[in-house]
Chain A
Amino acid sequence: QKEVEQDPGPLSVPEGAIVSLNCTYSNSAFQYFMWYRQYSRKGPELLMYTYSSGNKEDGRFTAQVDKSSKYISLFIRDSQPSDSATYLCAMSEFDDYKLSFGAGTTVTVRA
């Protein structure tokens, strides 16, 4: 079993829809949870960063962490064609240098 599980999709939605992405993990020591966005043939860029449990909102993006269920989510509201990308979840333990990544979910937003 992988340490971080993420459904690779692909996921295709119409413009304006809500995109829901999620990851599950097995390491209860993970404290930091991140979502990266990666456009084709580019390096990933950080979208959202959450410490421990709870919700965080940034514009159209909402990240949720449920440590009791070892489950994290990313929601994209009012999705745009420019949101078409691969979304990777990543997580790490406290004060650790190593990041563990999910496989990435490829999202296409249709105009």
Chain B
Amino acid sequence: DGGITQSPKYLFRKEGQNVTLSCEQNLNHDAMYWYRQDPGQGLRLIYYSQIVNDFQKGDIAEGYSVSREKKESFPLTVTSAQKNPTAFYLCASSTPFGGAGTEAFFGQGTRLTVV
């Protein structure tokens, strides 16, 4: 089945540690995204990538880093510089919104908790 796989589903991190969230897609989509979701704030864009080896900062990139070495993979690292990392993280992929039937597909999310 085609889709987006995020892992792990739940992640606990001690303060001061870096953690990496995995996102893999087999939809052959060029674009991939990372969003953060907090209660009452909707989805906020962290980083996005339109093509391999290229990515752009979103609205809340501080304290996060990404890489895009393969078309299928777009891992997100939450660094110790992120002051409030506890949140629900969503990965998505899409084709450009230039034709009928294009849409962003989302993974099932990773819930990160700092302990």
Q: Could you list which residues of chain A lie within 8 angstroms of chain B, going by C-beta atoms?
A: 6, 8, 31-32, 34, 36, 41-46, 49, 51, 88, 90, 92-99, 101-104
Once the chains bind, are A46 and B97 in contact (CB under 8 Å)? no
Residues of A within 8 A of B4 (CB): 43
- For residue B94, which residues in chain A have a CB less than 8 angstroms away from its CB? 97, 99
Given contacts A98-B45, A103-B42, contact A44 B90 (CB under 8 A): yes
- Least distance between A81 CB and chain B CB atoms (Å): 22
Tell me the complex Cα distance, A102–B101, Å: 21
Interface, chain B (partner A; CB < 8 A) = 4, 6, 31, 33, 35, 40-45, 48, 50, 58, 88, 90, 92, 94, 96-98, 100-109, 111
Q: Which of B35, B42, B107 contacts A102 (CB 8 A)?
A: B42
CB contact between A43 and one of B100, B101, B103, B106 (< 8 Å): that residue? B106
3 closest A-B pairs by beta carbon, nearest first, are A43-B106, A103-B42, A95-B98
A42's nearest neighbour on chain B, judged by CB, is B108
**Best-buried of A41, A49, A94, A98 by chain B (most CB within 10 Å):** A98
Within 8 Å by CB of A94, from B58, B97, B108, lies B97
Closest A residue to B100 by CB, please name it.
Answer: A51
How far is the CB of A3 from the nearest CB of chain B, in Å?
Answer: 10
Contact B40 A103 (CB under 8 A): yes
CA distance A99 to B31 in the complex (A): 11
Residues B96 and A95 in contact, CB atoms below 8 Å apart: yes
Q: Besides A31-B97, A102-B42, A103-B41, 16 other CB < 8 A contacts?
A: A34-B104, A36-B106, A42-B108, A43-B4, A49-B103, A88-B42, A88-B43, A94-B98, A95-B98, A97-B31, A97-B50, A97-B97, A99-B94, A101-B42, A104-B42, A104-B43
